[in-house]
Structure 1
């Protein structure tokens, strides 16, 4: 089976090649380019493609892949909002994902953003490098006793709630299906209105869909505490960036930690240090001292990368054999 691997960085290549040793019939061909209508010709002559979070797997791309004879798509991520699943299912194109690739990796990164924003570690680091040991302006707060709202309690959200409970926080959760383990831990399931009104910190761990698009907007922000901390390690479009900036100016948002950004496809995962980033909203956001942005690195740990590679190879084997597994989105959605 010949596989075209898109959005492939050196670290992806290393881990996939290692995982592929157990699958001698798989021939992996690596492309740094993202999959899109501009690059789709690279998939000609292949049996399957493997994609990542910012590849464009829309109806038009899927139709071209289908006409090329592509037998299936193996996503190297949990999210699938970049794939037209309805078209894929209607045209019998199996789409697989990696639903569980070390949830604690992303959860711990969300906590790292909370800690850095609270104790202003990013600012303290630069001060000390310059010989400035003054503490004025670096005041933080104790996490113990604070109310933390977690929107989405799937694998990652659940891991996040466990960590915040360990800090002694009062954890409020919102999800369609409550998790019994979290209830036993002392977490409380409430509606979104209560999350907005009561939380000192709100962390997003829900998928991106029509109901969660721009979940953080001027209307929801108006219901929140003055100076609320918002953390997003899920999908960029959960936050309306312009209205978040308005919230930063007004002081409604006291701290903003983002590992994802709605327009990240044009900049994330690339070295842009020699370029002028053509996104005025993003550039403005970076200018605030109470904002930390990381480049979609929440998942980026050794354990997670290995698991992504191993699961991707298992999914490619399933595509080759025609087997269906719990990871096939077009079978389960």
Structure 2
């Protein structure tokens, strides 16, 4: 073989080796989504966080995702495949992924896992969530002021503590500004199903609700309210601003990007540890979407005041006196709920009607 050919072959081999080493140096970050990235709500905001990771780290990272992954065995299969394909860090972004995350993490001790809204941790599994109930306090304040029928409808996804906390917080703060308000809750038993969510909204409107809150992920309730007329809504997880200024008058926005960037950086620099993170309005994980001009100025002022007091820590949405639905004492005057009780909340506060499904 000629010397030039030998040199060329050597150069190609070195180039391939360098390319392989560069590829191996990339940190691979996976995301498992319960809904489609275009849902306009929960999954959309998680995917915005994924894109923020790419923008922050550029060629240092590779991100992958799988959308519409059902909670249960299918989730475990998807996580396993991601780990087998070289993911260094996997974010599993729905409550029902909790046990699958723990199961897969045991099989891949060198892979880091981050589970959203759950409570089970391991040496290579962190948990993270947002204090959505803080945003519900702001929404409840607006809802209590603006309802004319005194009936507020609430679309629940699943009867888990996260959702129950939100219902309680919204009700407490609506009741504070409107003693005559009542809540009606319809359980959709889904995170994302536009048809079911629209039907739930229509049922609540037929029952007299002129305000609809939701803990489901699609914009279908917004569309149902818009069609009904004279019904206001709030964006869930994302701004849903295409329905502003009415029916959508404000929103809770989940801002996952700073957390995803920080946790990816920890993997890159070797400082990642298993932690539990639960942040709210103050740290910026929970945002309040612009309050539209459909909301009277004095109501907007009241809503922004409670947002500010939550953000600076001078007010907690669960501050006594508060009783449980059965009339038993829960929090004394000035007493604040502890995180342990909130994390496992399985009861309604006094005044809410109906039972929590088991």
Same fold per superposition (TM over 0.5) = no
* TM-score category (smaller protein): 0.3 to 0.5
More strand by share: 2
Scaled by the length of structure 1, the TM-score of the pair is 0.42
